[in-house]
Amino acid sequence: MFLRTFTDADVPAVLDLAIAVFGPFHEESFRPAVGETVFANQDGSWRQEYADRIPTLRGAVAEIDGRIAGFVAWTVDPVTRSGDISHVAVSAGHRRAGLGKALCEHAFAQLKQAGAEVVTIGTGGDDFHAPARELYASLGCTPFPLVTYYREL
């Protein structure tokens, strides 16, 4: 495994990976949970949002055998000395092998180097996100439960 800085040339592969990793959440978890009206309003353009957002990310990719197998993205706020990890994605064939942990630890180190003293990393409370919760707990992150309710009007 080789970790390196995310570059513009990585955008197509990272976008494909993000859609493959997070697509099942949007389409098979969130959509049936909230219904078509809420989904269309809140999340119906999720693919376009990824296409718009991915090129703006700051982060790193993990390569295995010359192919991108995962990525992590973050932001840092120098005023509050805090960082936020916005995305952690690992391809299906490389999960449960330590790649997510390596990506998060890399991001933590980069955030610390950039002056962050604390980091936030969020995930869902649904079954889809259970592996992410397990990973973040194993990294020493402290969960704080939040609940978002949706209702069609």
pLDDT tens digits along 37-47: 999 999 999 99
Tens-digit pLDDT profile for residues 68-83: 999 999 999 999 999 9
Residue 144 inside a domain? The answer is no
Asked whether residue 70 is domain-assigned, the answer is yes
Residues 82-132 have pLDDT tens digits of 999 999 999 999 999 999 999 999 999 999 999 999 999 999 999 999 999
**Is 153 part of any domain?**
no
16 within a domain of the structure (yes/no): yes
Residue 37, domain extent: 2-138
If one counts the domains in the chain, the total is: 1
Mapping DSSP onto H, E and C, the string for the chain reads CEEEECCHHHHHHHHHHHHHHHHHHHHHHHHHHHCHHHHHHHCCCHHHHHHHHHHHCCEEEEEECCEEEEEEEEEEECCCCEEEEEEEEECHHHCCCCHHHHHHHHHHHHHHHCCCCEEEECCCCCHHHHHHHHHHHHCCCCCCCCCCCCCCC
Q: In which region does residue 77 sit, left (phi positive, over 0), alpha (psi from -120 to 50) or beta (all else)?
A: beta
Residue 152 binned pLDDT confidence (cut-offs 50, 70, 90)? very high
Residue 50 maps to a domain: yes
The pTM (predicted TM-score) of the whole model is: 0.92
In-domain check, residue 152: no
Residue 40: which CATH number? 3.40.630.30
pLDDT for the residue 27: 97
Does 150 reside within a domain? no
